[in-house]
Amino acid sequence: MRSVLAIGAHPDDVELGCGATLLAHAAAGDTVTMLVMTGGESGPGDPEHVTGRRLEQEAAARALGARLVWGGMYDCMLTADAATVALIEGVLEETAADVVYVHAPDDSHQDHRAIASAAQGAARRLSRVLHYQSPSTLSFTPTVYVDVTAHLTGKLHALGAHASQVELSAMVEPDAVVASARHWGAQARIGYAEAFAPTRMVLDLAPAPRRRAEDLPAVHRLVPTARLAG
C-alpha cells in the first residue's frame, strides 16, 4: 500500500492533472493526499466565489477519496523559495509519501512553475516524482501513462464539483479533458490515459522494500580504498 501525495497550486489543478490516476490509486488501496497551495483567491468570479472555491475543493477531494491539505498561501504570489519548499517537506514527512504528482515545470502560469520547482526541491530524496499536464503547460513530453478508462467518469464528477471554475474559466473545458485523455490513451495504446513526465520514477516490480546503498551486501559494494581525511 502506497502513500500518494498530489500537489497543485490552485483548486482544481490536481483534479485536472491527475484526478483519475488518484482514483486508480484509491482503488488499488493506496492512501491519497491532496496538497492545494492556495485558495484560488485570484481566480475568476466575484469574492463570494473564493469561499465557494474552497468548499468546491473539499467536495472534489471527497469525490476522489482523498484527504485535503491546504497550503495557506496566496494565489499568484507563489515562489519556489525556502518557505514553500519547507511547507511541502512537512507534508511529505507527515504523509510518508512514496510518490508525488505535481505540475510540469514548463508552464505559462508563474504559480505552476513555482510549485513544480519547489516540489522537486522538497522531494529531492524521493524516488517517484511525476509531473502532470495543465491547460497552461507549455512543453510536455510524457513517457509514463496510467490507464484511466475505469476512472474517467469519476474524474469528471470531481471536476464537476468545481462548478464556479468550469462555468467561468476559459481554461477548463470538459470536452478538452476527455479529448486529451483519449489522445494520450491512443499514445499509450490503451483507451483513456493520464500522461506523466517523470523527474524520476522507480518501478515496483515486486513488493520489496527499497534499500539505501549502505544496506547493500558487502560483496558488491564499491570500495574506494582511499580513505576520506581532512
Query: Footprint of a copy of itself on residues 125-154 (CB under 8 A)?
Result: 125-127, 135-136, 138-139, 141, 143-147, 149-150, 152-153
Burial (CB count <10 Å: 0-12, 13-18, 19+), residue 167: exposed
Of the candidate spans 31-39, 64-72, 88-96, 171-179, the one that interacts with a copy of itself by CB under 8 A turns out to be 171-179
| Shortest distance, position 82 Cβ to a copy of itself, whole Å | 4
Query: Footprint of a copy of itself on residues 175-194 (CB under 8 A)?
Result: 175-176, 178-183, 185-193
Q: Does 96 bind a copy of itself (CB under 8 A)?
A: no
Residue 21 vs 95, nearer CB to a copy of itself: 21
Among 69, 117, 132, 168, the residue binding a copy of itself under the rule CB under 8 A is 117
DSSP secondary structure code for residue 220 in this structure = G
Question: Torsion angle of alpha carbons 57, 155, 100, 7, nearest 10°?
Answer: -20
Query: What is the rounded CA–CA span in Å between residue 81 and residue 170?
Result: 30
Q: Does 1 bind a copy of itself (CB under 8 A)?
A: no
Q: Does 93 bind a copy of itself (CB under 8 A)?
A: no
Contact 184, 193 (CB under 8 A): yes
Selection from 82, 81, 103 nearest residue 35 by Cα: 103
Give 196's contacts (C-beta < 8 A, 6+ positions apart).
18, 21, 101, 130, 131, 132, 142, 143, 144, 145, 146
Phi first, then psi, for residue 93 (nearest 5°) are -70, -45
Residue 94 vs 179, nearer CB to a copy of itself: 179
User: Judged by CB under 8 A, how many residues of this single chain contact a copy of itself?
Assistant: 102
Cα separation of the two ends of the chain = 44
| Shortest distance, position 118 Cβ to a copy of itself, whole Å | 8
Q: Does 3 bind a copy of itself (CB under 8 A)?
A: no
Q: Does 227 bind a copy of itself (CB under 8 A)?
A: yes
Query: Footprint of a copy of itself on residues 202-221 (CB under 8 A)?
Result: 202-206, 208, 210-213, 215-221
Contact 159, 166 (CB under 8 A): yes
Q: Which amino acid is at 212?
A: R
| Shortest distance, position 70 Cβ to a copy of itself, whole Å | 19
Q: Does 47 bind a copy of itself (CB under 8 A)?
A: no
| Shortest distance, position 6 Cβ to a copy of itself, whole Å | 13
| Shortest distance, position 149 Cβ to a copy of itself, whole Å | 5
